[in-house]
């Protein structure tokens, strides 16, 4: 039996936000991949469309399970995905010099994407069990650090700096939500400062080269530097109202590299201009703030951590991706949620949204 | 269910704390989004006109410059491989407007039909819209000038300069230098070719492959602004390409050519090395192929002719082909026997032309027998019975220990891909491989280099080099020196000693004497290798393709492919060795007649040209 209160408390705001985001995503992807020819629909668009089909099913399934049950198997999920990440390094598919995909028949999926949501669940379970009004010491949180470091290392080895970075950002955000002693925070920051240069020495020459390029793309005018110039031209030339749907010339002429994945925001900004991009940014902002608001009303520590993790996932991905496309931060491989092409990413986003709605409609059950 | 309203203890969630944190987070999110918004405002409104203009000309493009590949020279600085510019006429589709007119002009200038050009375009259209599609490769300089002068007629025309690899000595050096080809999907998937892109040209074989990292250099390119007709107007940013480093091989081009001409018409291989440094002076595998054909592109028939040829021209027989060492292996048996004390210089065996062992007669190659022989005569006249006896006293495993000390049964470590390891059998190896225990009779075959024994011509060259240099096992060296494009020496190899074998000077002396007698003695088997004024020491070998028992004795009547392989290993001058040679001629029948003269010619050529010349030059300088 479905509790009537669940239906009463269904979060329509999130649903509307989600539907709008998916619409923005699909139209932009359509524009990005059809290369200016009306009526020509790319394979990529159809694939994404079908992923959303699967995504809705996943979302509905997620809705019907009480999210608190996920707490009991959060660690098992975590171990499963870690094993998959190991599998990727052993038997993963190579695409452009990186191993990120695991093949399952005709379907290839990215365990590193799944890790984003699974680390949120695992850390939520960990932190919600270990709260203390006096603050957590280093002895309390080292398992959380290890839990982040293992997948981080595995993902770095693929290599996928962007996804690894997102994991660390999510974990750091969640650690800040848990009450941690000030001294511990300071120590963690200092450790980071020490570990980074040490890691540099361990890297191979070509890996260092990648990081140098990653930190200052202008040193690579033929690669990342070129992408940024083209991306800035695309965004800038959109001006106030944009060139119109599928009228973006930068995109149409395939100036933009990987325009359907990491650089898709520039297609959006070129087609719809300042007004369009502003509305989309506002949409993302609303979803993030609304989620934080759900957390505000939630009465269950595990739920609060899950919400916070998902909000920080959205926040970091959106802000870094958009900033990258506009040349404000270095180019790293981070997708724009709901908009960038990617099957596993779609499923992860739909699961996240499902979890948010799930928690939102159960937040009053405690009363 | 937890009751959040119960009193706070130190172990319960403090929801007020979380709420405060969530609020603080919202306060961080807002300014970040504001920053993004202001960036949008800046790019789209303040700089909007500028970017709009750039996008309308859609003018910023990337041009890649390939890095010139490193050159390859021989030990005397003779150029073996260089790069020649080749001009390719291509078309950027997006700029070629109106297309019909462009095609018409292009067809006239390039002497192609419009149909042909359209077909080419159709085939390669899937490339990005801004990549030039190559229409005609390798156009002449005259045509190049003409096209440059008339480029207004053909919007979108691009003439690319590509550096094309040229192998100066074609067939002669093919197996050492190798060839280039497009990087494969499998290679791209591996770690070695991580930095490569689809379509890149990489070393596929030989030195080109094993020294890819050094030869390659670093690709360059530039960001350029082009006008509406696709012509360059401004260069925004340039990264110069870095040429690859140059290699100086230990090979002597003259000797290499000599070896090729000596092998011409036969199937086989020659390896010549400096005994004291391990430097390879010549390495030829016959028949060969022209690596230049790999650059220009081969027809299907040409490729099939190469890849399906029964004489295996694509195989480097010097390192990839394994043969029974035959009587050249008696060197190893003699050393093992002397060192293990089962024979000494005075030991003699009687050879009546066969050895009765078990219920079988093991025959000597000389039907009438050698009579009473000691180790020196046994080596000189290649008496099988003497080595059967020695082998029986040693046993297969002790023999294998010495063979392995000479580097047999394992890759020599030459820096080329695909080296074969050969095979040195032991009793445990056979048990593991076949499940059947070792038979004493098999030791007899092993002792004279037949049976399971397999060596490569290079390994055999290293064995004879070790006899010449006093017992040092060398790692063969192919690249003597690596120089930067500016001529700075980046790396230099003088010699590469792998190890000193535990062989006494006395033993070595006896074996050397035997090998000297083989060439210079009254009844030595290798008299065809004798040279005036140069003392040569060597050993012949005749490797059976089928055992003597099964194939009868009349070798003349056998089909060519059933005839034995001819071996000869030698070094010279005897008193101070400068060169060690290993020669195999497939189905050449007798080492003495087919292989020994080739080795002698090699020695003569080398000592009379390179070394002799060096001595004269030195004398001149001093005088």
pLDDT single digits (tens) A293-309: 888 888 888 889 999 99
Return the residue of B nearest to A99 by Cα.
Answer: B189
Q: What is the dihedral of CA A204, A209, A213, A218, to 10 degrees?
A: 170
Q: With 60 as the cut, is the pLDDT of residue A213 above it?
A: yes
- Tell me, yes or no, if A128 comes closer than 8 A to chain B by beta carbon: yes
Q: Which of A104-108, A239-243, B191-195 has the highest mean pLDDT?
A: A239-243
Interface of B with A in 151-210 (CB under 8 A): 188-190, 194-195
For residue B67, the chain A residues in CB contact (below 8 A) are: none
Query: H helices of A65-129, where?
Result: 70-91, 111-129
The tens digit of pLDDT for each residue in B393-445 reads 999 999 999 999 999 999 999 999 889 999 999 999 999 998 899 988 899 99
pLDDT on residue B409: 93
Q: Is the pLDDT of residue A251 over 70?
A: no
Taking CB atoms and an 8 Å cutoff, what residues of chain B touch A319?
32-33, 36
Instruction: Give pairs for B343-351: CB < 8 Å, separation 24+.
Output: B343/B375, B343/B390, B343/B393, B345/B374, B345/B375, B345/B376, B345/B510, B346/B374, B347/B374, B347/B375, B348/B372, B348/B373, B348/B374, B349/B373, B349/B378, B349/B385, B349/B386, B349/B389, B350/B385, B351/B383, B351/B384, B351/B385, B351/B386
For residue A238, give how far its alpha carbon lies from the nearest alpha carbon of chain B (Å).
6
Give me the residue from A206, A229, A233 closest to B194, CB to CB. A206
Flag residues of chain B having pLDDT under 50.
1-7, 547-553, 555-557
Across-strand partners of B285?
Answer: B269
- Binned at pLDDT 50, 70 and 90, residue A94 comes out as low
DSSP conformational letter for B153: G
Among A237, A272, A309, A325, pick the best mutation site for testing chain B contact (most B Cβ within 10 A).
A237
**Pick among B8, B30, B44 to test the A interface (most A CBs inside 10 A):** B44
Please, are residues B260 and B288 in contact by the beta-carbon 8 Å criterion? Answer: yes
Task: Report angle CA B134, B136, B139 to the nearest 5 degrees.
Answer: 125
- Could you give the CA distance from residue A20 to residue B442 in angstroms, rounded to a whole number? 83
Nearby residues of B155 by Cβ (< 8 Å), 6 or more positions away: B95, B96, B97, B102, B229, B230
Higher pLDDT, A171 or A91: A171
Q: What is the pLDDT of residues A315-356, one digit of tens each?
A: 999 999 999 888 888 777 788 999 888 888 899 999 999 999
Burial (CB count <10 Å: 0-12, 13-18, 19+), residue A40: exposed
CB pairs under 8 A between A and B: 172
Does residue A257 surpass a pLDDT of 60? no
ipTM: 0.89
Distance from B229 to chain A by nearest Cα, in Å?
A: 15
Distance from C-alpha of B384 to C-alpha of B373, rounded to nearest angstrom: 11
**For testing contact with chain A, the best of B12, B26, B55, B97 (most A CBs within 10 A):** B55
Residue B421: how many other CB atoms lie within 10 Å: 15
In this complex, do A97 and B188 lie within 8 Å of one another by their Cβ atoms?
Answer: yes
Radius of gyration of chain A (CA): 21
On whether the CB atoms of residues B317 and B263 are closer than 8 A, the answer is: no
Residues of B in contact with A216 (CB under 8 A): none
Q: Which residues of chain B neighbour A237 with C-beta distances below 8 Å?
A: 48, 51-52, 54-56
Range with the lowest mean pLDDT among A180-189, A216-225, B102-111, B342-351?
A: A216-225
pLDDT at residue A158 above 80? no
The reported pLDDT for the residue numbered B558 is 54
Residue B432's SS3 state is: helix
How far apart CA A283 and CA B374 sit, in angstroms, is 99
Q: Burial level of A25, CB count in 10 A (0-12/13-18/19+)?
A: buried
Distance from CA of B257 to the nearest CA of A (A): 40
Q: Are A307 and A362 in contact (CB under 8 A)?
A: no
Interhelix angle A111-129/A138-156, nearest 10 degrees: 180
Q: Which residues of B are catalytic?
A: 327
Name the residue facing A94 among B23, B60, B189 (closest C-beta): B189
- Nearest residue in A to B32, CA atom: A319
Kindly tell me if the per-residue pLDDT of A255 is higher than 60: no
In the numeric block, the tokens 């989600």 are attached to A18
Give contacts of B47 with chain A, Cβ < 8 Å: 236
Of B331, B346, B324, the C-alpha closest to B387 is B331
Higher per-residue pLDDT: B340 or A88: B340
d(CA B364, CA B388): 9
Give the three-state DSSP class for A146. helix
A103-117, A243-257, B187-201, B236-250: least confidently modelled range: A243-257
The DSSP call for residue B527 is: G
Q: Roughly what angle, to the nearest 10 degrees, separates helices A264-297 and B15-41?
A: 160
Q: Residue A36 pLDDT more than 60?
A: no
Best to test chain A binding among B6, B16, B25 (most A CBs inside 10 Å): B25
| CB contact residues (below 8 A), chain A span 163-182, against chain B | 173, 176-177, 179
Taking CB atoms within 8 Å and a gap of at least 24, the contacts of A38-44 are A38/A246, A44/A260, A44/A341
Nearest CA in chain A to B54: A233
Say if residue A207's pLDDT is above 70: no
Residues whose CB is less than 8 angstroms from the CB of residue A282 and which lie 6 or more positions away in sequence, other chains included: none
What does the pLDDT read at residue B548?
41
- CA-to-CA distance for B329 and B447, rounded, in angstroms? 7
Q: Residue A323 has what pLDDT?
A: 92
What Rg value do the Cα atoms of chain B yield, rounded? 34
The CA-atom distances, in angstroms, between B126 and each of A200, B91, B93, B182, B612 are 40, 14, 11, 18, 60
CA–CA dist A22, A16 (Å, integer) = 10
Inter-chain residue contact A296 with B21, CB threshold 8 Å: no
pLDDT score recorded for residue B129: 58
**Structure confidence at residue B199 (pLDDT):** 75
CA–CA separation, A189 and B578 (whole Å): 66
Strands (DSSP E) contained in B377-529 are: 472-474, 479-483, 489-492, 497-500
Half-sphere exposure of B561 (CA within 13 A, CB side): 2
Q: Is the peptide bond before A159 cis (omega within 30 degrees of 0)?
A: yes
- Please state, in angstroms and rounded to a whole number, the distance separating the CA atoms of residues B136 and B121: 11
By CA distance, what is A241's nearest residue in B?
B44
Q: Residue B369: phi, psi to the nearest 5?
A: 85, 165
> B220: buried, middle or exposed (CB in 10 Å: 19+, 13-18, 0-12)?
middle
| Spatial separation of the C-alpha atoms in residues B103 and B94, rounded to whole Å | 13
Whether the Cβ atoms of residue B280 and residue B478 lie closer than 8 Å to each other: yes
Interface of B with A in 544-563 (CB under 8 A): none
C-alpha to C-alpha distance for A248 and A267, rounded to whole angstroms: 7
Q: At what angle do helices B384-394 and B396-405 cross, to 10 degrees?
A: 100
Cβ-Cβ contacts under 8 Å, A128 against chain B: 13
A240 contacts chain B (CB < 8 A): yes
Asked if A261 contacts A335 with a C-beta cutoff of 8 angstroms, the reply is: yes
Distances from the Cα of A168 to the Cα of A74, A199, A260, A313, angstroms:
18, 16, 25, 10
Q: In chain A, whose CA is at the least distance from the CA of B197? A: A96
Helix (H, G, I), strand (E, B) or coil at A106: coil
How many of the other CB atoms lie within 10 Å of CB of B85? Answer: 12
Contacts of B366 (CB under 8 A, 6+ apart): B351, B353, B381, B383
Instruction: Check CB contact of B78 with chain A, cutoff 8 Å.
Output: no
Could you please report the per-residue DSSP string of A248-269? -HHHHTT-STTTTTTTHHHHHH
């Amino acid at each position: 039996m479905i509790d009537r209160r669940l239906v009463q408390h269904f979060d329509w705001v999130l649903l509307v936000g989600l539907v709008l985001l998916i619409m923005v995503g699909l139209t932009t992807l359509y524009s990005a991949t059809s290369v200016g020819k009306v009526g020509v629909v790319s394979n990529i668009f159809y694939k994404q469309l079908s992923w959303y089909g699967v995504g809705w099913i996943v979302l509905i399934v997620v809705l019907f399970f009480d999210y608190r049950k996920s707490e009991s198997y959060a660690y098992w999920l975590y171990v499963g995905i870690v094993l998959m990440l190991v599998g990727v390094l052993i038997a993963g598919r190579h695409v452009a010099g990186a191993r990120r995909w695991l093949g399952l028949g005709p379907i290839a999926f990215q365990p590193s994407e799944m890790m984003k949501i699974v680390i949120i669940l695992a850390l939520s379970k960990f932190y919600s069990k270990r709260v203390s009004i006096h603050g957590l010491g280093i002895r309390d949180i080292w398992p959380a650090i290890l839990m982040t470091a293992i997948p981080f290392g595995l993902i770095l080895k693929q290599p996928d700096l962007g996804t690894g970075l997102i994991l660390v950002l999510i974990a750091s955000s969640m650690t800040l939500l848990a009450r941690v002693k000030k001294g511990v925070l300071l120590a963690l920051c200092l450790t980071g400062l020490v570990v980074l240069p040490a890691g540099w020495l361990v890297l191979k020459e070509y890996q260092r080269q990648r990081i140098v390029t990653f930190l200052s793309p202008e040193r690579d005018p033929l690669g990342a530097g070129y992408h940024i110039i083209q991306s800035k031209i695309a965004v800038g030339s959109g001006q106030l109202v944009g060139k119109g749907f599928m009228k973006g010339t930068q995109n149409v002429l395939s100036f933009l590299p990987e325009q359907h994945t990491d650089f898709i925001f520039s297609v959006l900004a070129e087609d719809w201009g300042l007004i369009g991009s502003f509305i989309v940014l506002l949409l993302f902002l609303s979803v993030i703030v609304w989620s934080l608001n759900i957390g505000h009303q939630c009465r269950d520590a595990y739920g609060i951590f899950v919400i916070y993790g998902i909000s920080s996932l959205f926040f970091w991905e959106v802000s870094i991706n958009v900033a990258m496309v506009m040349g404000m931060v270095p180019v790293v491989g981070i997708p724009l949620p709901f908009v960038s092409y990617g099957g596993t990413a779609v499923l992860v986003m739909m699961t996240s949204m499902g979890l948010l709605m799930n928690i939102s409609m159960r937040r009053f059950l405690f009363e | 269910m937890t009751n959040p309203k119960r009193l706070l203890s130190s172990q319960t969630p403090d929801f007020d704390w979380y709420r405060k944190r969530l609020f603080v987070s919202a306060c961080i999110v807002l300014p970040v989004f504001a920053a993004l918004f202001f960036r949008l405002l800046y790019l789209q409104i303040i700089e909007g006109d500028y970017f709009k203009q750039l996008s309308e000309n859609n003018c910023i493009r990337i041009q890649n410059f390939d890095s010139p590949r490193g050159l390859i020279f021989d030990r005397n600085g003779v150029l073996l491989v260089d790069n020649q510019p080749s001009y390719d006429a291509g078309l950027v589709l997006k700029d070629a407007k109106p297309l019909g007119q462009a095609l018409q002009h292009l067809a006239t200038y390039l002497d192609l039909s419009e149909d042909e050009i359209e077909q080419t375009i159709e085939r390669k259209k899937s490339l990005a819209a801004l990549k030039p599609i190559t229409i005609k490769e390798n156009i002449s300089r005259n045509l190049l000038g003409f096209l440059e002068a008339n480029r207004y007629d053909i919007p979108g025309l691009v003439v690319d300069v590509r550096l094309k690899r040229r192998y100066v000595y074609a067939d002669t050096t093919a197996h050492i230098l190798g060839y280039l080809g497009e990087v494969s999907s499998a290679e791209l998937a591996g770690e070695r070719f991580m930095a490569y892109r689809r379509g890149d040209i990489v070393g596929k074989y030989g030195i080109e492959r094993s020294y890819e990292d050094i030869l390659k250099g670093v690709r360059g390119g530039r960001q350029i602004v082009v006008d509406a007709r696709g012509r360059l107007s401004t260069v925004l940013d340039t990264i110069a390409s870095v040429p690859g480093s140059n290699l100086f091989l230990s090979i002597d081009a003259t000797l290499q050519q000599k070896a090729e001409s000596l092998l011409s018409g036969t199937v086989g291989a020659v390896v010549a090395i400096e005994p004291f440094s391990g430097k390879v002076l010549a390495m030829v595998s016959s028949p060969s192929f022209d690596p230049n054909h790999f650059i220009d592109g081969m027809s299907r028939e040409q490729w099939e002719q190469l890849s399906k040829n029964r004489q295996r021209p694509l195989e480097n027989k010097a390192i990839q082909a394994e043969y029974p060492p035959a009587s050249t292996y008696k060197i190893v048996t003699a050393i093992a026997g002397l060192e293990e004390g089962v024979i000494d210089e005075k030991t003699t065996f009687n050879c009546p032309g066969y050895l009765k062992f078990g219920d079988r007669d093991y025959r000597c190659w000389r039907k009438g027998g050698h009579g009473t022989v000691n180790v020196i005569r046994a080596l000189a006249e290649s008496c099988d019975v003497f080595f059967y006896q020695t082998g029986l006293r040693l046993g297969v495993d002790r023999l294998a220990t010495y063979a392995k000390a000479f580097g047999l049964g394992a890759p020599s470590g030459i820096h080329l891909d695909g080296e074969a390891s050969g095979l040195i059998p032991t009793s445990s190896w056979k048990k593991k491989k076949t499940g059947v225990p070792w038979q004493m009779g098999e030791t007899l075959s092993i002792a004279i280099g037949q049976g399971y024994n397999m060596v490569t011509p290079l390994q055999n060259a290293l064995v004879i080099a070790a006899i010449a240099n006093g017992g040092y096992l060398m790692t063969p060296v192919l690249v003597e020196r690596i120089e930067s494009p500016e001529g700075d020496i980046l790396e230099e190899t003088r010699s590469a000693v792998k190890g000193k074998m535990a062989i006494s000077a006395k033993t070595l002396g006896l074996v050397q004497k035997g090998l000297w007698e083989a060439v210079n003695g009254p009844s030595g088997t290798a008299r065809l290798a004798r040279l005036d004024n140069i003392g040569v020491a060597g050993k012949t070998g005749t490797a059976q393709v089928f055992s003597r028992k099964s194939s009868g004795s009349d070798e003349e009547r056998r089909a060519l492919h059933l005839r034995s392989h001819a071996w000869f290993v030698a070094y010279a001058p005897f008193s101070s060795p400068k060169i060690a040679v290993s020669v195999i001629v497939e189905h050449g029948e007798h080492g003495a007649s087919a292989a020994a003269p080739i080795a002698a010619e090699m020695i003569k050529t080398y000592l009379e040209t390179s070394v002799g010349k060096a001595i004269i030059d030195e004398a001149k300088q001093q005088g």
